[in-house]
Structure 1
Amino acid sequence: MTAEALRPLERLLHEQDEAQLTPEEYKAVFRRHAAGVAVVALRDGERPVGFTATSVISVSAAPPILAFSLAATSSSWPAISRAETLAISLLTSNQGDISARFATSGIDRFADGGWRALDTGEPVIEDAGAWVRGRILQRLPVGDSYLVTIRALEHGTSESAGPLVYLDRNYHPVGDYEI
C-alpha cells in the first residue's frame, strides 16, 4: 500500500472529532474476547526470535493469507521488520507454559527447548496443534502497531491436545476436543 493510500486511514486514526474508547476501556473489552494462542518465530541472522500472539487471523484461503498484529514497541519488531519468512505455531491446551515463556520480556525464550528448526531455519514449537511457515507480504502501520500479512507456504498439523485459549489474562483449555 502506498503512503498516499494510507493518508485517509491515518487521518481517521488521528483526526477524530468524535469520542472514542480510552486504551484502558478498549483493553477491558478485549479481555472478554477469547483468542487462540500462537508463537510467531523467525531467524534474525543466527539468532532465533519469537513471541506470543493472540492476534493471528485467517484472512484468505485462496490465496492462503494469514495475519497478526505486533506493537511497534515490541522487542521483536526490529527482527520482523527485516524478515522475509517466519513460522507461526498454534499452541495446544497443555502449552500454557510455552506461551508464558514467549510472552516474557528480557529472557532467552528459546533456552528451555521445546522447539525445532525447519529445514529452512524458522523455529516451530514441538507438539503444537499446527504450524504454518510463510512469506511476509506486508507490514502495515496501524495505530501504535503493525499488521503483518503472510502467505502460507508450508504447514504441519498434530493430533495432540485441543487448542489453548487466552481470556481475561488467563489460559484456558477448550473442553473435550477431538479432531
Structure 2
Amino acid sequence: MITPEEFKSAFRLHPAGVALITADPGGSPVALTASSVSAVSADPPLAMFSVSALSSSARNLRKADSVVIHLLSADNLDLALLGAASGVDRFADESRWQRLPTGEPVFEEVKTWMRADILHRVDAGGSNVFVVTIVESSVAPDAAMCEGLVYRNRTWHRIDDSTVASMPELIGASAG
C-alpha cells in the first residue's frame, strides 16, 4: 500500500472542479469548499461529494437532510476561499445569501447550483462520503460564458478559452 502522503501527492496533480456546499441542519448554517463533487447518475439524478471528518463543518453536515451544491466559476473564487477558511463566519455578509423556501442557504451570485436530499452517508477512512439526490437546480442563462475554476496542486486555476485544446492538437503534441 502507498502512504497517505504519496496518495495526496498524486491527487494534488489531478485538477478538480470547485464547489461550495451549504446546509442548515437546524440552528446555524454551514458551508465548506469541496473539490470532490462528482455526478453519479443522470437518471435518477445523483451526485456525491466527500468531506474530511476533521472539517469544522463535518459534524453539522452529517446532521443535515439536504444540501445546496454551488458549482463555482472563476468569478466565485472569493466564495471558494471563504468556504475553505477556518474560524470565520461564512454567513456574516447577509447580503450575499438567502434561504431557499425549503430552508437551505444559497449564494445567489453563483450561476449554477443544485439543491439535493442526502440519500446516503458513508464513513470512508478519514472522510464522510455523501450520496445525494438532486431535486432542484438553477443554471443561469449566461453560466456557460463564465470561466471555470479548478483546484490543482494546492492552487486555484482559471479555465478559459485559451486553455481549450482540440483532439488533433492533443494527438500532435503527444506524438512530437
In structure 2, the residue corresponding to 1:94 is in which secondary structure? Answer: helix
Is 1:130 matched up with 2:112?
Answer: yes
The 5 Å alignment of 1:49-88 reads 49-88=30-69
1:119 is matched with 101
Q: How many pairs were matched up?
A: 158
Matched residue type, 1:71: S
- Percentage of identical aligned residues: 41
In structure 2, the residue corresponding to 1:112 is in which secondary structure? Answer: coil
Moved over 3 A (4+): none
How far did 1:46 drift?
2.8
CA distance in 1, matches of 2:20, 2:65: 17
2:26 is matched with 45
How far did 1:38 drift?
0.4
2:147 is matched with 162
1:16 is matched with none
CA distance in 1, matches of 2:88, 2:22: 15
Structure 2: give runs of 5+ residues left out of the alignment.
Answer: 163-176
CA distance in 1, matches of 2:152, 2:161: 18
Is 1:145 matched up with 2:127?
Answer: yes
Is 1:91 matched up with 2:91?
Answer: no
Q: TM-score scaled by structure 2?
A: 0.85
Matched residue type, 1:166: Y
Structure 1: give runs of 5+ residues left out of the alignment.
Answer: 1-19
How far did 1:116 drift?
2.4
Matched residue type, 2:101: D
Tell me which moved more, 106-115 or 26-35. 106-115
Matched residue type, 2:31: G
Q: TM-score scaled by structure 1?
A: 0.83
C-alpha offsets along residues 59-83 of structure 1, whole Å, 9 cap, x if unaligned? Answer: 0011110000011121111112211
Larger fraction in helix: 2
Tell me which moved more, 53-62 or 154-163. 154-163
- For residue 16 of structure 2, the aligned residue among 14, 25, 35 is 35
1:6 is matched with none
